[in-house]
Amino acid sequence: MTAKLFVQAIGKFLFGLVLIGLLLFLPAWSLKYWNGWLFLGILFVPVFIAGIVMMFKNPELLKKRLNAKEEEQEQKTVIALSGLMFLAAFIVAGLNFRFQWIVLPAWAVWIGVGVFLTAYLMYAEVLRENTYLSRTVEVQENQKVIDTGLYGIVRHPMYSATLFLFLSMGIVLGSPISVAILLLYIPIIALRMKNEEQVLEKGLDGYKAYKTRVRYKVIPFIW
Q: In angstroms, rounded to a whole number, what is the distance separating the alpha carbons of residues 114 and 165?
A: 10
Alpha-carbon separation of residue 189 from 35, 59, 122, 154, 159 (angstroms): 26, 28, 17, 15, 7
Residue-level pLDDT at 132: 64
Q: In angstroms, rounded to a whole number, what is the distance separating the alpha carbons of residues 223 and 215?
A: 9
pTM for the predicted model, two decimal places: 0.89
Contact 104, 171 (CB under 8 A): yes
Q: Across residues 4-9, what is the average pLDDT?
A: 79
- Check whether 68 has a pLDDT greater than 70: no
Contact 104, 174 (CB under 8 A): yes
Residue 92's pLDDT band (boundaries 50, 70, 90)? Answer: very high
Tens of pLDDT, residue by residue over 9-61, are 888 899 999 999 999 999 999 999 999 999 999 999 988 888 787 777 777 76
Residues of the chain with pLDDT > 70, as a percent, come to 88
Residue 147's pLDDT band (boundaries 50, 70, 90)? Answer: confident
- Check whether 135 has a pLDDT greater than 60: no
Alpha-carbon torsion, ordered 45, 50, 51, 57, to 10 deg: 150
Q: Which CATH class is domain 3-213?
A: mainly alpha
- Check whether 65 has a pLDDT greater than 80: no
